[in-house]
C-alpha cells in the first residue's frame, strides 16, 4: 500500500512538471526516452513516466510496432522505470520508429507473452 501511494505521489509530481514544460513533438525521437528517464528534472521524469504508462496501456490491448509484451498489472512504476532504463543502456543501438516502440521492446524482453 505504501509503495502504491509513493508511486502515485511520484507520478503526480512528475506530471505536474509536464504542465510547466514546453510542448513535445507529436512523435518523439526514440533517443529522447533514455534522456528523459535518466534526467532529474520534473518535466523529464513526467515525460518518461508518461511513455512507460502509455506503453503499458497500449500493450494490454495490442502490439506496438509489432511487439507484444504481457506486463503484469501489479508491477510498480519504479520497477518499470528500472527495466526500461537498464534495457536501453544495454541496447544502445536498438532502434524503433517511436519511443513507445523502444519501451515495448524493453517490456517484451522482461515480460514475454505466453505462446
- What is this structure's pTM? 0.74
Which tens digits make up the pLDDT trace of 13-52? 454 444 344 444 445 677 888 999 999 899 999 999 999 9
Which tens digits make up the pLDDT trace of 52-87? 999 999 999 999 999 999 999 899 999 999 999 999
Q: Residue 33: enclosing H or E segment and its boundaries?
A: helix 32-38
Mean pLDDT to the nearest integer, 97-113: 93
C-alpha–C-alpha distance, residues 30 and 79, integer Å: 21
C-alpha–C-alpha distance, residues 35 and 45, integer Å: 10
Task: Quote the Cα angle for 105-107-110, to 5°.
Answer: 115
C-alpha–C-alpha distance, residues 1 and 17, integer Å: 25
Mean pLDDT to the nearest integer, 81-110: 92
List domains and CATH numbers for the chain.
Answer: 2-110 (1.10.890)
Taking the CA atoms of residue 59, residue 22, residue 76 and residue 74 in that order, the dihedral angle to the nearest 10 degrees is -40
Amino acid at each position: 500500500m505504501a509503495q502504491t501511494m509513493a508511486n502515485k505521489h511520484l507520478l503526480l509530481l512528475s506530471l505536474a512538471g509536464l504542465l510547466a514544460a514546453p510542448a513535445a513533438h507529436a512523435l518523439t525521437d526514440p533517443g529522447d526516452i533514455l534522456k528523459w528517464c535518466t534526467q532529474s528534472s520534473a518535466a523529464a521524469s513526467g515525460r518518461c513516466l508518461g511513455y512507460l504508462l502509455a506503453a503499458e496501456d497500449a500493450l494490454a490491448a495490442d502490439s506496438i510496432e509489432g511487439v507484444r509484451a504481457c506486463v503484469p498489472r501489479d508491477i510498480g512504476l519504479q520497477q518499470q522505470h528500472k527495466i526500461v532504463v537498464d534495457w536501453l543502456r544495454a541496447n544502445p543501438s536498438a532502434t524503433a520508429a517511436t519511443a513507445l516502440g523502444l519501451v515495448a521492446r524493453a517490456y517484451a524482453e522482461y515480460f514475454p507473452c505466453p505462446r
